[in-house]
Amino acid sequence: MTTPRPLVRPARVLAAALAAGTLFATAACSGSDSSASPESDASSTVAERGLAAQTTSPAASSPAASESPSDLSEEGARNALITPADIEDDWTQVRDPREWRDTLLVGSVDVAAFVDGQSDVRDCQRLVDALFDETLLGKPTGASAVTGFQEGDSRLLYQVAAYDKAELDDSMQWLSELPDTCDQFTLTGGDAGERTVQVIETSLPQVGDNRQGLTVTVKGESGGDPVTLSLDVAAVQMGADAITVTNGGLDGADHDTTSAAVEQGAQRLQEVLAGRTPSPTPSGIN
């Protein structure tokens, strides 16, 4: 006599019924409106975002999608640079301002060597190291263009560059804190002995998404003679892009020139980011 096999159909029927009940309950919850709790809505939103992340690019699905990388091109960065007409007076454009990081002879004073020293405060050291460099806001991650001008004993370094947005935000925050963290400090080392550095906040035209202005004064001796170097430092942020200005010299910092460079430069960058080529700046601007 053959032993009958156990019946499995009831278990399958029960499983199917449970699955149907689950689907029915899910459909009923989905069909509800005001009866759903805020927590349920949040869970649903999170689930939808998770699904979207599987079918879209990381940039599109990221909560920081509005902080997309810069579209600034190398040509656009060059077009966004200011010209002598933007700052008027008798400024002359120099051939290669990148050479200033090594030596910047103004009269008998090597300004680059004068500001080359050590500070006990890391944030202050970072500022000093970047005064005549292209790393005031950190290292660009995209397009970058630099120009420079000279007038008598004054020098102006101007940069347009694209950055990592989060790092740029941090750099702008760092700049804003310098008048407190580095209001006065001492530089040591080098041929100039001890130098006293002061940092104060200055105002800039209301342009860009964020901006920060500083005046940095370095006092010491060079070749046995007293020397005072005054520099305006300005940065304007537009999304993941920014312009930076360092302007001044042994005769002080011309704040009007700094403001003109910021205002005209921000307008030029804005036009580039809108897909236009800025028109040449006419002479005699206000």
Count of alpha carbons within 13 angstroms of residue 268, beta-carbon side: 26
Q: Is the confidence at residue 37, as pLDDT, over 50?
A: no
- The set of residues, in sequence order, having a beta carbon less than 8 Å from that of 59 and lying 6+ positions away, is 65, 68, 69
Selected residue with higher pLDDT from 24 and 212? 212
CA distance 103 to 96: 12
Closest by CA position to 161, among listed 172, 171, 146, 173:
146
With bands split at pLDDT 50, 70 and 90, how would you rate the model's confidence at 223?
A: confident
CA distance 206 to 113: 34
Asked if 172 contacts 210 with a C-beta cutoff of 8 angstroms, the reply is yes
Q: Is the confidence at residue 278, as pLDDT, over 60?
A: yes
pLDDT in tens, 52-98: 333 333 333 333 434 567 899 999 999 999 999 999 888 999 988 88
With bands split at pLDDT 50, 70 and 90, how would you rate the model's confidence at 158?
A: very high
Type of residue found at 149 = F
Q: Beta strands of the chain (E only): which ranges?
A: 92-93, 105-106, 109-110, 144-151, 154-162, 184-187, 195-202, 210-222, 225-238, 241-249
User: Which pLDDT belongs to residue 217?
Assistant: 97
Q: Which two tokens stand for residue 66?
A: 């509005």
- Which of 34-38, 142-146, 192-196 has the largest mean confidence? 142-146
| Terminal-residue alpha carbon distance, the chain | 111
Residue 98: phi, psi to the nearest 5?
Answer: -65, -20
CA distance 154 to 109: 12
Instruction: Report DSSP state, residue 66.
Output: G
